[in-house]
Amino acid sequence: MALRRMRLLEVAVVVAIVAILYGVLSNTLVVLGERAERAAVQGMLGQLKQQLNIKLAQYYIAGNKDLQSLQAENPFMWLERPPENYRGELASLVDIMNQPETEVWFFDTSNHELVYKVNRHQFLTIEGQNQQILRFVLNLNQSAADKQGKAETATSTVYHGVFSTAVPFTWQIDTPP
């Protein structure tokens, strides 16, 4: 009888340890999964920024001063191959919301925005009502360069471009795994 109680106690201790380890592991996996998704978004934006810099250099070399045409282009078409999770161009945000997939990119042709549909959003806060859509817009500008003094005219133009958030968000995953 005492041996049976001892074994039941051992089983209870083992079950408690396994439950605690499962809880810690599942929380860690949630955090790591969301960190990976955030890193993938940042990585894709970095690739598109690199391609944007190449496009801007081509515009600069050609002496093209009309950046409006570049601003209307789909940045995913600048890549040699669009990423596997790029699902194409859609005409509105409503069309994108109706898509069942998550962790995918779209190009919103009506607003000329890059749109990412988030899967893991426990640590993500997006202004507004929709907590599943990240939107980025291409902002381009030109500035004068090689200007020595106020009286001199600029001798060249420098092109700048950045993908900015169309709707502000914070993705804070600062808790260690």
Instruction: Please give the structure tokens belonging to residue 34.
Output: 């969301």
Confidence at 105, pLDDT banded by 50, 70, 90: very high
Where do the structural domains in the chain lie, given as residue ranges?
Answer: 2-171
Cβ-proximal residues to 4 (8 Å cutoff; 6+ apart), any chain: none
Mean of all residue pLDDT scores within the chain = 83
Per-residue pLDDT at 177 exceeds 50: no
Model pLDDT for residues 108-157, shown as the tens digit of each residue:
999 999 999 999 888 888 988 777 899 999 988 777 655 555 555 555 66
Whether 43 has a pLDDT exceeding 90, the answer reads yes
- Separation between Cα atoms, residue 29 and residue 122, nearest integer Å: 12
**Does pLDDT of 28 surpass 80?**
no
pLDDT > 70: what percent of the chain? Answer: 88
pTM equals 0.77
Of 78, 60, 54, 47, nearest in space to 142 by CA? 60
Output the pLDDT for position 152: 53
- pLDDT surpassing 50 at residue 95: yes
